[in-house]
Amino acid sequence: MEGGTPGVGDTVHGPYPTVLFEMGSGFRMPILGVNDGCPRRGGGFNLPVASSHDLFSAIDGERALRVGEVVLAVHDDESRVWSVIHVRQRNLYGMDRSLAEGVLFTDQYQLTMSQLYFRMGIHEQNARFEHFFRRYPDYGPHEAGYCITAGQAWFLEWAASARFGDTELDAIRSQRTVTGGQMFGDDFLEWLSDVGGFGALDITGVPEGRVVHANVPMTVVEGPLSLAQIIETPLLNQLNFQTLIATKASRVRVAAGGGSILEFGMRRAADRGATAASRASLVGGADYTSAVGVSHLVGFPPKGTHAHSMVQVFMAMGDGELGAFRAYADVYPDECLLLVDTIDTLESGVPNAIKVFEELRRKGHEPVGIRLDSGDLAHLAVRSSAMLDAAGFEDPIIVLSSGLDELAIWQIQNQIIEEAPRYGTDADRVISRLVYGVGTKMATSEGAPNLDGVFKLVAYEDGTDGWLPAIKLSDTPAKVVNPGRKKVLRLYDERGVATADVLALADETLETPFRLNHHSAGRVSRVVDKVSEIEDLLEPFHIGPVDQEKAIVEARTHRDSDMERLDPGVMRLVNPHVYHVSISDRLFALKQELINDTRKT
């Protein structure tokens, strides 16, 4: 059994908190009672529990455990009493999410297919699956012309920690068919126990932070068929989502020009997906995030200001907005950034902020800036900037927030360019001091809430004939898989700008001149006779611990380098230029051969 100690105030209040107990031998016992040993009751109280398959749920909805030790009376079927132990706190009350977020973070059909392969004796045959997305995010009035890959560092750490342990195997074992039989056989579960996790898989891919394009493999998994099948769902879940958010963050960064970006989306993101969204934002374009936990996890300081509620509190106490600003400056003299739109931005907020900034300066401190969270942000930025400059505060930043995305930022900057001269203010000067707080629309990728990434079998290693290409047909040409083991090449033109991504067979070498074929539109081709560079995009990944801060720093370097070499037309926020994705002549011929052979059968 595993030991632990519940803290003071921990409870077993419902609904039905799960309690899991394991004997060292793996033999699971019915639990007849829990003695909480509570001093206020003199000890000896037995908490009744109810058995549900192999899980034991506390059914006491009233009593709380307030001591550091829980004593169990555990009996087997022969009434032999086993040891008294300490119980792990997380299993004593509430919901233990580890079962749902570990190796069983997958779909049921992955397990049923995996067992079928086991029954057929092909579960350890090597297979190759490729992960790619078919369409760029379409936000409605605008769409992306590229994506930024993200999530690999977290996925690789997850894959290293995901294990088929006793708890996971017992959960699978408990599943029953409609007739009451055991769905997953003990021999299959024993095989899962022996392999343990995903260490037998080889994973290659496009490194995190790089520009990627539709229908180009960004992750490749090779290894035992059953394991590659099971890992499909968590791979798609983690990499699709973070790539989606990183892409949105990149577009926001493009719109912001050189302006800093703060990610503020945690409160409206999808539950714990907020953590992944914040991290992906840091990869794609945000400089910092307000999310405290993930900031510390990846080694970047969290950033934030204050809410209107703080000003409201001081107003309710009779101290007003100025009193709130003074209190904040007193506590954070070197981090003083004030939200100025609680009452009236230009008549109250900014003048009061300037008063407090002057007081800070007399004390030897310099203010950080102000935040605008409502109204006509472009107009208020121009006017506020002029007021700050007139008061001698030319360095404080102006943070803009409230419904921002790439189009809103683009429009704000254009309005500032038009409006600033009317107030005798330099537009570039105003824009240069802006910081953009982007929340909901980035953390949820508003308008394009998912990336249609897929995970397709493209090759299978037969024991006799070696690697065999695999094809999937469809009435939709774009959904016909490009078969075989492949390399992914990026071509650069004479300007050093990326001009096409090419899928070629693994043993191919491209030498100019060569023909490129459209990846799905039949014999639509062009001849390339001049390139300055051909780059292989796929690199080996290591399943294991990752330095998370280093991972983001490297991802940002990849991002900046790729964006510099991406055609400006592809980066356009509206109606981007279509980037070329092609297949080589040999791959085209193989694909057509397999299509014809499959249709004959």
Domain annotation covers residue 192: no
Please provide the size of the chain in residues: 601
- What's the pLDDT at 74? 39
Domain annotation covers residue 162: no
Answer yes or no: is pLDDT of 234 > 90: yes
> Distance between CA atoms of 435 and 404, rounded to whole angstroms?
11
> Distance between CA atoms of 284 and 146, rounded to whole angstroms?
12
The pLDDT-based confidence of 27 (bands split at 50, 70, 90) is very low
- Are residues 19 and 90 in contact, defined by beta-carbon separation less than 8 angstroms? no
What average pLDDT does the segment 426-441 reach? 97
- Boundary-marking domain end, from 443, 477, 492: 443
- Are residues 479 and 519 in contact, defined by beta-carbon separation less than 8 angstroms? no
- What's the pLDDT at 379? 98
Domains identified in the chain, total number: 2
- Are residues 508 and 501 in contact, defined by beta-carbon separation less than 8 angstroms? no
Average pLDDT of the chain is 86
- What's the pLDDT at 94? 54
Domain annotation covers residue 468: no
Which has more pLDDT, 476 or 507? 507
**How many percent of the chain have pLDDT more than 90?**
77
Least confident of 42-46, 170-174, 358-362, 367-371: 42-46
- Boundary-marking domain end, from 443, 463, 485: 443
Identify residue 330 by its one-letter amino acid code: D
What CATH number corresponds to the domain at position 408?
3.20.20.70
Least confident of 171-185, 272-286, 469-483: 469-483
Give phi and psi for 444, each to the nearest 5: -110, 0
Least confident of 217-231, 328-342, 471-485, 512-526: 512-526
- Boundary-marking domain end, from 59, 75, 96: 96
Which of 155, 61, 154, 159 lies closest to 103 in space, CA to CA?
Answer: 159
- Are residues 321 and 343 in contact, defined by beta-carbon separation less than 8 angstroms? yes
Query: Rounded to 10 degrees, what is the CA torsion of 296, 301, 307, 311?
Result: 120
What average pLDDT does the segment 246-266 reach? 97
pLDDT (tens digit per residue) in 149-160: 999 999 999 999
Domain annotation covers residue 357: yes
Domain annotation covers residue 277: no
The pLDDT-based confidence of 534 (bands split at 50, 70, 90) is very high
- CB atoms inside a 10 Å sphere around CB 52: 11
- Are residues 65 and 10 in contact, defined by beta-carbon separation less than 8 angstroms? yes
Domain annotation covers residue 22: yes
What average pLDDT does the segment 195-205 reach? 97
The pLDDT-based confidence of 520 (bands split at 50, 70, 90) is confident
Answer yes or no: is pLDDT of 77 > 90: no
pLDDT (tens digit per residue) in 127-156: 999 999 999 999 998 999 999 999 999 999
Identify residue 414 by its one-letter amino acid code: N
The pLDDT-based confidence of 86 (bands split at 50, 70, 90) is very low
Kind plus residue range of the DSSP H or E element containing 559: helix 548-564
Identify residue 530 by its one-letter amino acid code: K
> Distance between CA atoms of 238 and 557, rounded to whole angstroms?
21
- What's the pLDDT at 475? 84
Which has more pLDDT, 512 or 171? 171
Q: Domain containing 66: what range? A: 18-96
Answer yes or no: is pLDDT of 257 > 60: yes
> Distance between CA atoms of 67 and 92, rounded to whole angstroms?
13
Domain annotation covers residue 319: yes
- What's the pLDDT at 11? 31
Domain annotation covers residue 466: no
- What's the pLDDT at 26? 34
- What's the pLDDT at 158? 96
